[in-house]
Structure 1
Amino acid sequence: MAKPKVRALLTALGKDPRPVTHELLDELPEDKTLNYLRGLLMATGALPTRDQCLTNLERWINEKLATRTDLEDRRVLHGYAIWHHLRRLRQRVRAQQLTVDQDQNVRIHVNAAVQFLDDLAGRGTPLVACTQSDVDDFMAHRATYPQRTAHFVRWAVTHRHAHNLTAPATRWAGPSGPHDEDRRWDVARRLLHEDAAPTADRVAGLLLLLYAQHVNTIRHLTVDHVQRDGDTPKILLGDRPIVLPAPLDALVEELIASRRGHTLVDAPGTWLFPGRLPGQPLSSDQLVIRLGALDVNPRQDRATALFTLAAQVPAAILARMLGIHRSVAVQWQQASGGDWAAYAADVAARPVRNRPAT
């Protein structure tokens, strides 16, 4: 309340005769103070919950469209941004919240399309008359995001906004090394058995090191992802729960019991890793910083974990257990040299347990 921006915001809202709604807050300039107040009102039930990140992305796209003076360019960009990217994004997230990576991915794709259309407009060339030399020249000399521009060109050709153009997709060349498995286990053992670091940071690091979970996946975990089968604690990362081995199970139970909010309402909600914004999980940037303090490199250590797991477990099982796309699991299995035959032979060699009569 002592901060000038907070006082100014609350004074402005107090003088407005209309009830405080999301629509009213949307009329105000977007900043950290407004985001915090909105989060506080949603966390306490004064406002209905909504994905503010998705709302901000929708607003940003509409602003981009409004700046297009050429009606044909606006129609093309509308189809690419809203009917292609935004529609697919809504289907993908569904009841979940939009992640920072998903938000940035759409923005970069749209910016790449805008840059290409602006370049064509600057030379007086409409998209429908664009030639292969126009594409090659732009990609070679002026494209800020060549891969995203290529995606827009392929989309435009598919939807007949352009003709006789090619822009090949860049294929994944496989995991980049080095994959230091010894270091991965050294850090994992330290997080499992040394209690110098906060419990939340240890659990987050172990989920990344042992189960190859992405930072954005970890930060969006809730207490509902932790299940119990009798006395056996499990965690749901994909569509099948995974048994939490000791002592990781005790750390997860401790995290659930000790977690607390960092805001005025001091309510962590259902998040395993509550953040500083009311009703929101810990930000990906903050989680990366905290993992770095534990000597965990999210990108490289996750790649090492995926590389190792893919060599030991079939892609279909890996996808179901870890919550990654099946095609991604197949790519990692091929890169790691793992195959189904070795796994099937190992399963066949295991002793058969006598099942109790039913």
Structure 2
Amino acid sequence: MARPKPAPEPDRYEPCERCGQAYLTAAWWQDTPICCYCYNQAKRLVGQCVECGHSGIVPGRTTAGHYLCRTCSGIRLNVDCVECGAEAELYRHGHCWRCELAHQVDELLTNPHTGTINSQLVGLAEALKQMPRPNSGVTWLRNPTVRTILQEIAAVDAVDQQLLNSLPVNRSAVHIRALLDEHGIAGARVDFRTRFTTWADSKLATLTSPDNQLVMRSYIQWHLSRRFDDNCTNGTFLAAKQGVTVAIDFLNFLDVLQVPIRDIDQSQVDTFIATGSETNRLLNRFLPWAIKTYRLPPLTISPHRRGTTRALTETEQVEQLTKLFANEQLTPRDRLAATLIVVFGQATHKVAALRWDQIDRDGTCTITLGTHPITLESPLDQLVVEVAESTTNRQTAAHSASVWVFPGYQPGNHLGESHLRLRLKALGFPSLATRLGTWQTITQTAPPPVLADALGIHPQTAIQHALRGSSQFGAYVAERGRHNDQ
């Protein structure tokens, strides 16, 4: 994470000509002071000079703010790479970041015994060298753990499953194995079962009672592990981790009370639920198993009431639509994700997993959410173009040619549903309330089965939305009738 920019210091420095803020002056260009932040930004800015048409680094500015190259602006700035000759920000010894990245990749992926790069690693090497932001690649390759793992992989004659299984299961190794899977070595990605087993072993160490550790090991081995097959999803993986975490918290809570697991009663369960966050209700994933296996007496957790979320009113939906295209804080990706919920009533997990093959941009722009494609009118069609041109999560080797509209942080995976949900909620688009409001509105304008077919939900679900929407409309009409009678 980048360090936060400090506050300006007008008592120490004069204002920068570019940003107007008082920071340390790094250079005087065109007889004006340039702060260190604008100086570094100008060294990286590529554009076209308005006077001579030169394309490259453009550090200068006209009085109107247009770009000028070094020659036309008279600015002396060394941005010529001594190796490739390109105009680019230099890293060290006159080499640009991209040349440095190529050297680092070759150094780490070359087999020290043969002096060449294993053919299995060529795809990874090329992807790393061509990543849009080479400085990010150099920074990543500085990580000692990353370097150790890459060197270990490069030092063998063949990258096989035995080698991959010998690697540590940490964040760097998981990411590297996902990159290998994405760029030529099928099956290299860490499977969910291995990741969960490694995580669970460390989590079990936090249990304060040896007896409770035995109970949790049985729960993990005989109840949860069977879920991690070839069809396991990231959601299943995260849900299992969350359920184990809450169960361990509960068992440690009992240990503090000095209550053995075989002696607990309903009061301890109720106290644990009442004194914690709403997450503690996830104890209902562990309790049924413990009761069924005769480790606990019959106990209950009052279920969460479904259908209690309030749907947004028509006025609130209009406000959201206005915010959708008026709020400059929204990136194109945020705006498209929110549009799919606000306009089309899509669930968050479907939005996160949207693929580019569901969108046709040849001629009339269409999107397929259900059985039939839907035409996207302006400004939605332009929004799709902006997202396609966006560089978010596409600046590294993780998603060089991603099929996902919203690529995630893990190579080959789309954006996480929970991450997207929290992001939209923070921007003023709570996904469930927004989606309910949308469906209860649009089902009053078209037959629910037709909408269900076009937007990809079950017809019965669409009918239920229609009934809720019509009941609210009926209550409104009745209220107006009573008002008119008075």
Give the letter aligned to residue 10 of structure 1: R
TM-score normalised by structure 2 residue count: 0.52
Report the structure number with the largest CA radius of gyration: 2
Structure 2 segments unaligned to the other structure (5+ residues): 1-103, 105-137, 473-486
Is 1:30 the equivalent of 2:170? yes
1:1-358 equivalent positions in 2, closer than 5 A? 1=104, 2-3=138-139, 5-6=142-143, 9-15=146-152, 17-18=155-156, 19-20=158-159, 24=164, 27-28=167-168, 30-31=170-171, 33-46=172-185, 48=187, 50=189, 56-65=195-204, 73-74=212-213, 76-78=215-217, 80-81=219-220, 83-85=222-224, 87=226, 94=231, 97-99=233-235, 103-123=237-257, 125-141=259-275, 145-172=279-306, 174-176=308-310, 179-185=312-318, 187-188=320-321, 199-226=332-359, 233-236=366-369, 240-241=371-372, 243-247=374-378, 250-251=381-382, 254=385, 258=389, 261-264=394-397, 267-275=400-408, 277-282=410-415, 287=420, 296-298=429-431, 300-309=433-442, 322=455, 336=469
Q: Is the 8 A contact 1:219 1:281 kept in 2?
A: yes
Hey, what's the Cα distance between the residues in 1 that align with 2:166 and 2:443?
46
Q: Is the 8 A contact 2:372 2:454 kept in 1?
A: yes
Hey, what's the Cα distance between the residues in 2 that align with 1:216 and 1:143?
24
Deviates more, 1:212-221 or 1:20-29: 20-29
SS of aligned partner of 1:281: coil
TM-score normalised by structure 1 residue count: 0.66
Give how far 1:98 is off.
1.5
Q: Is the 8 A contact 2:149 2:167 kept in 1?
A: no
Give how far 1:329 is off.
6.5
Answer 1 or 2: higher relative contact order, Cα 8 Å, separation at least 6: 1
Hey, what's the Cα distance between the residues in 2 that align with 1:308 and 1:190?
19
Give the letter aligned to residue 217 of structure 1: K
- Relative to structure 1, is the Cα distance of residues 188 and 134 closer, same or farther in structure 2, using a 3 angstrom cutoff? closer
Q: Is the 8 A contact 2:149 2:173 kept in 1?
A: no
Q: Is the 8 A contact 1:127 1:161 kept in 2?
A: yes
- Relative to structure 1, is the Cα distance of residues 247 and 186 closer, same or farther in structure 2, using a 3 angstrom cutoff? farther
- Relative to structure 1, is the Cα distance of residues 277 and 77 closer, same or farther in structure 2, using a 3 angstrom cutoff? closer
Hey, what's the Cα distance between the residues in 2 that align with 1:224 and 1:256?
14
Structure 1 segments unaligned to the other structure (5+ residues): 340-358
Q: Is the 8 A contact 1:199 1:255 kept in 2?
A: yes
Hey, what's the Cα distance between the residues in 1 that align with 2:237 and 2:203?
15
Q: Is the 8 A contact 2:175 2:411 kept in 1?
A: yes
Q: Percent identity?
A: 24
